[in-house]
Amino acid sequence: MKKLNIVFLTRSYYPNVGGVEKHVYEISKRLAALGHHVTIITEDTKREKGVDFDFRLKNVDVIEIPVGGDDWFKKFRIWKWVWQHKNIFLKSDIIHCHDVFFWYLPLAFLYPLKNVYTTFHGYESYPIKKKAIIYRKIFEYMSNRTICVGAFMTKWYHAHPAKMIYGAAEIPKKTTAPKKNSAIFIGRLDEHTGIDVYLKATELIRKKIKNFTLTVYGDGPYTEQLKGQKGIIFKGYDLSAEKEIIKYEYAFVSRYLAILEALAAKRRVVAVYDNPVKKDYLTMTPFKDWIDICRDEEDVAKIVTEKTGNEAITKAYTWVSEQTWVRLAEVYLSLWQK
């Protein structure tokens, strides 16, 4: 197979926290291992305080766009940079945008024969604006082919992707008995990840199970709110937090990557939604019957306090064992080869 020169465009990249950041990193790592060269173009990365994770990879170059302030003119500064560095794109075999197809617009019209692809990750906000749907349809049309992370996009964005994915996970090498009456949360600390519901649920659970604890890995707007709350153990930002899932009885997570990592550790997943899009995000999946999907903190607390069993963990583990990063990298290669 020909060795490819691949360009990934992504708004954010390691060591910044987030599912897209990890997705791009892990896919790039596997492609580079196969001998392909990957150039990642991203906004300025901001290394989180105390993080010593070395995100550099052999055969992977990271180029940061000096975007400046987050204002209305930001997109024009990005377009200017793309135009000034157009040789990076013209020399590539593959250009793949992770959500940010609009970055490539200055070149899309001038070089219509270039191979350009797009992966759509998640959704912007709820309610979804009509403008967001229109933009995605335009970018889908201008891409050779697309990937959607989640079938809910076919309903809410009227997407017609060539590939449907949900992420990947690695099976833990070691097994251990979980700490009883414990849960772990991994993700950004904002309303989109359900941290507010999990904090309220922890309060309810501790009224019946006084030694119940929720260990939180992440950073974001809710950081100060959870500090000092009884039953909360705050660990902060840690890129290797998924390795800790196996130590806990429950995984309070609502994003695909964290869900898959919890299933790979054979842990009970309690996911929450607060709007119809997020509900479909969780229910329109292959693993919907293997996790607990909750509407609010009372639902979450009931699952933990009543100790209801979940007999689907074995089925979930069998399925997730096949959802590896190597296999997901092959999905990208097959997309580009057609």
pLDDT tens per residue, range 293-329: 999 999 999 999 987 666 678 899 999 999 999 999 9
Pick the more confident residue, 226 or 85: 85
Lowest-confidence pick of 7-16, 232-241, 314-323: 232-241
8 A C-beta contact, residue 11 and residue 2: no
Condensed to tens digits (0 to 9), the pLDDT of residues 149-182 reads 999 999 999 999 999 999 999 999 887 889 999 9
Q: Which residues contact 93 (CB under 8 A, 6 or more apart)?
A: 2, 4, 5, 6, 115
pLDDT of residue 239: 76
Q: How many other CB atoms are found less than 10 A from the CB of residue 58?
A: 7
Residue 89 pLDDT grade (very low, low, confident, very high; cuts 50, 70, 90):
very high
Mean pLDDT of the chain: 92
Model confidence at 16, pLDDT cuts 50, 70, 90, reads confident
pLDDT at 314: 86
Of 240 and 287, which is predicted with more confidence?
287
Is the predicted pLDDT of residue 71 greater than 60, yes or no? yes
Taking the C-alpha atoms of residue 170 and residue 174, their distance in angstroms, rounded to an integer, is 12
> Does pLDDT of 53 surpass 70?
no
The pLDDT assigned to 310 comes to 60
| Chain segment 184-227, per-residue pLDDT in tens | 999 888 878 899 999 999 999 999 999 999 999 988 888 888 87
- Report the pLDDT value the prediction gives residue 308, as an integer from 0 to 100: 65
Which strands sit side by side in the sheet containing 213-217, from one edge to the other? 232-236, 213-217, 179-186, 248-251, 268-272, 292-294
**In terms of pLDDT, which residue wins out, 55 or 132?**
132
Which of 11-15, 82-86, 224-228 tops mean pLDDT?
82-86
Q: Classify 43 as helix, strand or coil.
A: strand
Mean pLDDT, residues 21-33 taken together:
95
Each residue of 92-130: b (16+ CB within 10 Å) or e? bebbbbbbbbbbbebbbeeeeebebbbbbbbbeeeebee
Give the pLDDT of residue 52. 47
- Kindly state the average pLDDT of the residues 240-252: 93
Mean pLDDT of 251-271: 96
- Give the global pTM: 0.92
Confidence at 277, pLDDT banded by 50, 70, 90: very high
Neighbours of 324 (CB within 10 A): 17
Span of 6-15, 279-288, 328-337 with lowest mean pLDDT: 6-15
pLDDT at 66 over 70: yes
Q: How confident is the model at residue 120 (pLDDT cuts 50, 70, 90)?
A: very high
pLDDT cut 70: percent of the chain above it: 95
pLDDT of residue 51: 47
From 12-16, 19-23, 87-91, 116-120, the region with the lowest mean pLDDT: 12-16
Answer whether residue 50 shows pLDDT above 50. no
pLDDT computed for residue 199 by the predictor: 94
